[in-house]
Amino acid sequence: MFTVVIRDTTERKRAEKAEAAARANAERLRELERELKSLERLSSHGKVSVTAEAFGLKPLREGAPDKFNEMVQHYKDLMDLALEQRSFKVEHNISNKLRALSEEVGFLRAGPRDVVEIHSTALKQKSSDTTPQKFQIYAEEGRVMVLELMGYLVSFYRSHSVGVRIAAPREDKKKKSNT
């Protein structure tokens, strides 16, 4: 005589997988929150340097708040295009749009901290109205976008500083005249 007990473990396995996925999502969200806090610390403007103060340079958020908010919105729109490009394999030529944004940032004499502040503000706003999975993709695409935007800003400043000469230190001139 045999007794056979059959138990369906499908539901238990599904629950275990869902729990593991939830834990992984929670960890990713904690990582993204740490990244946002890190960006905030990086972009936080401490005391403005004496040179910046002499030229009247303020953080973009303070000096031109309307323009700053407009740029954040533009950046958020570009993040949406990047998400669409990634999901649907369409081409939106985001690089040219980032280049145009960098010129706008450059003409306002903004710097790298302002770019990071635009990026982190846009990410923070995206985090409040989206799913964790979608936010993770925004964060991933945003990392690439902020680096590209920084590169274009450097190129902007390099191309607009042609003809500006920085004098060599006097020590170098003395060494050259002695040789």
Q: For residue 45, give Cα distances in angstroms to 51, 70, 80, 124, 144.
A: 14, 20, 28, 18, 23
Highest mean pLDDT among 44-53, 83-92, 155-164: 83-92
What pLDDT score was predicted for residue 52?
Answer: 55
- Which has the higher per-residue pLDDT, 120 or 29? 120
Q: What is the pLDDT of residue 25?
A: 84
* Domain membership flag for residue 8: no
**Does the pLDDT value for residue 88 go beyond 50?**
yes
The answer to whether residue 148 sits within a structural domain is: yes
- HEC secondary structure over 138-159: HHHHHHHHHHHHHHHHHHHHHH
Q: Which two tokens stand for residue 35?
A: 């990244």
Residue at 117 is within a domain: yes
pLDDT of 173: 47
User: pLDDT per residue over 122-169, tens digit each?
Assistant: 999 998 888 888 988 999 999 999 999 999 999 999 998 866 555 445
Query: Is 172 domain-assigned?
Result: no
Domain span at 73? 17-161
Does some domain include residue 80?
yes
Look at residue 53 and tell me if it is in a domain. yes
- Cα-Cα-Cα-Cα dihedral of 143, 60, 58, 32, to 10°? -30
Of the given ranges (4-8, 10-14, 60-64, 83-87), which has the lowest mean pLDDT? 4-8
Is residue 156 in a domain? yes
- Give pLDDT tens digits for 60-78: 998 999 999 999 999 999 9
**Domains held by the chain: number:** 1
Give the pLDDT band (50/70/90) at residue 2: confident
Query: What's the whole-number mean pLDDT along residues 9-31?
Result: 89
Question: What pLDDT score does 50 carry?
Answer: 52
pLDDT at 92 over 60: yes
In a domain, 10, yes or no: no
